[in-house]
Amino acid sequence: KLTLSDPQGTHAAFDEHYTSTEMGRSSNCLSRQEHSLFHKASARLGMPAELSFALAKYEEMHKRCSQDKNWTHAFSNPDPADTCDYLLYTEGPAGLGNRLLSLASAFLFAVLTNRVILVDRSGDIPELVCEPLSGSSWLLPADFPFEKLDHSVPKLREAYKEGWNDTKVIYLYLREDQNGDDRQFFCTATQQKLESIKWLAWNSNQYYIPRFFTLAPFWQQLVQLFPDVSLVFTHLSRYLFLPNNSIWDRIVRIHLSYFSSAQKRLGLQVRLHSRGDLSEFYPPAYTQIMNCLINNELLPNVSTTNSMAPSFNHKQQKPTERTTSVLVASLQFKYYEEIRILYMNNPAQDGKFVQVHSLSHEGREWHSLDQDIKAFIEMWLLSFSDEIATSSWSTFGYVAQGLGAITPHLLNIRGDFEKNGLPSCVVGQSIDPCNHFPFMNSCESESLSSEHSQWIQQHIKPCQDEGNGLQLV
């Protein structure tokens, strides 16, 4: 029913969204049907058949295991006759990008190990996304006894110290400050032991999917599910993180108002880490960003000597046909403002027009639902870009490039970047996010098949923005 005859698919997307909204069509998740129309043409990807099949099987299992379940009772008094296993997911303190990457990792772990994932509804993510599973819910009831998890459930490190006897629940602590025995999670022997544990709880702020590919029990299944491993997060995020209808309506409205009619869309995501005061505008970072954008022709250079733009034939070309629309996402207002003023006061050397937009300038992170909604909207809008420049080490940027299936220009604006002489940016080696803390040597020597080792050499690389990190390429 949808037509893709116009290159951006804008008209089709507009028609589809507004007819369906006006007519009140009974869809509980408009973004599921519509999102692909907003991505650039080369980023409209079908899901690999093996993955669709595995997800359908997972949904069926989730539905069967959820039937007539009182979750609080099932958790507090596990029934020995119950054949299902479970994974509890709580959001924990972290920025939205980190939490989304952690949830995607937990979900894939649940699929790989045949566990029903159950999500704590007190977090913000359930307020942002559609329920992903067809036929059953991944949300736990509001009165689920999460407080028990913090007090009485052993972490992996404790199970290793005190023994596994009669353990029915284990708490997986997979944050960046996990200690030695928490890291045993990444060992084949631990994975085998965990198979007999009915309930696992996942507490992480990291993207662990690249690390799963290094584990012998998961590798073969994973390469079947994902024929192109640079798109693992893209496929999972377009399944799990589709905006709910009210947020989707805001995203569509903003996109159609500010971005869709431009000839080209550029997403710029500016995030400074490892600096004392993150709320400040940092001029060397601005210089680095503009060097990247102009040297790589993401934006035109400006003429500061000639105040007249090269002439063009108004009759032949509409202004929108030579306009680049830039979305600047940043906690700080001034990056947006500087770029906007630059192109307002000076003509582009190639005679093109540059429009610059920003949706928010929060100043700093404080983790509220309102801030998460803004961040989520910006991640999605960035994902509709034709090209994107993201900040090194930022999970916010990873989510945007992943949702959009866009190879980013990765800005070198982390730490003391101006002292280390790095180029202003590099083209990303992959669309998939970086696993910042993979804890590679956490197991006693485990031998992998030579086929697996060769595959790892070819498809898992140190990240460009984190030498100790791992990235699927």
Could you tell me which residues come within 8 angstroms of residue 353 by beta carbon, excluding any fewer than 6 positions away?
A: 319, 322, 323, 324, 343
> Is 160 within 8 Å of 272 (Cβ atoms)?
no
Q: Which of 51, 194, 331, 431 binds ligand GDP (CB under 6 A)?
A: 331
> Is 393 within 8 Å of 273 (Cβ atoms)?
yes
Establish if 324 lies at the interface with ligand GDP (CB under 6 A): no
Establish if 465 lies at the interface with ligand GDP (CB under 6 A): no
**Distance between CA atoms of residues 85 and 108, nearest Å:** 15
Residue 14 or 333 having the CB closest to ligand GDP: 333
Establish if 251 lies at the interface with ligand GDP (CB under 6 A): no
Query: Residue 138 CB, nearest distance to ligand GDP (Å)?
Result: 21
Query: Residue 94 CB, nearest distance to ligand GDP (Å)?
Result: 6
Query: Residue 332 CB, nearest distance to ligand GDP (Å)?
Result: 9
Kindly report the number of other CB atoms within 10 A of residue 45's CB atom. 14
* Residues in 346-385 at the binding interface with ligand GDP, rule: CB under 6 A: 360, 362, 365, 371-372, 374-375, 378
Residue 324 or 332 having the CB closest to ligand GDP: 332
For ligand GDP, which stretch binds (CB under 6 A), given 192-200, 313-321, 340-348, 392-400?
392-400
Cα distances (Å, whole numbers) of residue 103 to 198, 229, 427: 20, 18, 27
Q: Which of 31, 36, 91, 95 binds ligand GDP (CB under 6 A)?
A: 95
367: left (phi over 0), alpha (psi -120 to 50) or beta: left
> Is 333 within 8 Å of 361 (Cβ atoms)?
yes
Query: Residue 369 CB, nearest distance to ligand GDP (Å)?
Result: 10
Q: Which of 31, 36, 98, 136 binds ligand GDP (CB under 6 A)?
A: 98
C-alpha dihedral (383, 388, 389, 391), degrees to nearest 10? 20
Q: Which of 191, 214, 383, 395 binds ligand GDP (CB under 6 A)?
A: 395
Could you tell me which residues come within 8 angstroms of residue 453 by beta carbon, excluding any fewer than 6 positions away?
A: none
Query: Residue 335 CB, nearest distance to ligand GDP (Å)?
Result: 10
Query: Residue 331 CB, nearest distance to ligand GDP (Å)?
Result: 5
Cα distances (Å, whole numbers) of residue 53 to 58, 111, 435: 9, 12, 26
Q: Which residue's CB atom is positioned nearest to ligand GDP? A: 95
Establish if 396 lies at the interface with ligand GDP (CB under 6 A): yes
What is the DSSP code (8-state) at residue 119?
Answer: E
Q: Applying CB under 6 A, what is the total number of residues that bind ligand GDP?
A: 21
Q: Chain-centre distance of CA 408, in angstroms?
A: 13
For ligand GDP, which stretch binds (CB under 6 A), given 90-98, 146-154, 163-171, 336-344?
90-98
Residue 159 or 411 having the CB closest to ligand GDP: 411
Q: Which of 36, 191, 394, 471 binds ligand GDP (CB under 6 A)?
A: 394
Establish if 330 lies at the interface with ligand GDP (CB under 6 A): yes
Establish if 469 lies at the interface with ligand GDP (CB under 6 A): no
Establish if 96 lies at the interface with ligand GDP (CB under 6 A): yes
For ligand GDP, which stretch binds (CB under 6 A), given 128-136, 258-266, 325-333, 426-434?
325-333
For ligand GDP, which stretch binds (CB under 6 A), given 95-103, 340-348, 402-410, 456-464?
95-103
Establish if 338 lies at the interface with ligand GDP (CB under 6 A): no
65: left (phi over 0), alpha (psi -120 to 50) or beta: alpha
Q: Which of 9, 97, 243, 438 binds ligand GDP (CB under 6 A)?
A: 97
* Residues in 16-35 at the binding interface with ligand GDP, rule: CB under 6 A: none
CA angle at 419 for the pair 410 and 425, rounded to the nearest 5°: 15
Residue 372 or 432 having the CB closest to ligand GDP: 372
**Distance between CA atoms of residues 31 and 11, nearest Å:** 16
**Distance between CA atoms of residues 428 and 400, nearest Å:** 13
Query: Residue 410 CB, nearest distance to ligand GDP (Å)?
Result: 13
Query: Residue 395 CB, nearest distance to ligand GDP (Å)?
Result: 3
**Distance between CA atoms of residues 298 and 174, nearest Å:** 38
> Is 155 within 8 Å of 177 (Cβ atoms)?
no
Query: Residue 97 CB, nearest distance to ligand GDP (Å)?
Result: 3
Residue 8 or 330 having the CB closest to ligand GDP: 330
Burial bucket for residue 276 (CB in 10 Å: 0-12, 13-18, 19+):
exposed
Beta-sheet pairing, 409-411 with 387-391: parallel
Half-sphere exposure of 99 (CA within 13 A, CB side): 20
For ligand GDP, which stretch binds (CB under 6 A), given 88-96, 174-182, 222-230, 305-313?
88-96
Establish if 275 lies at the interface with ligand GDP (CB under 6 A): no
**Distance between CA atoms of residues 409 and 299, nearest Å:** 13
Establish if 400 lies at the interface with ligand GDP (CB under 6 A): no
Nearest residue to 163 via CA among 203, 193, 202: 193
> Which residues in 114-263 belong to E strands, given as ranges?
115-119, 169-174, 199-204
Name the residues that contact ligand GDP, by CB under 6 A. Answer: 94-98, 269, 271, 329-331, 360, 362, 365, 371-372, 374-375, 378, 394-396
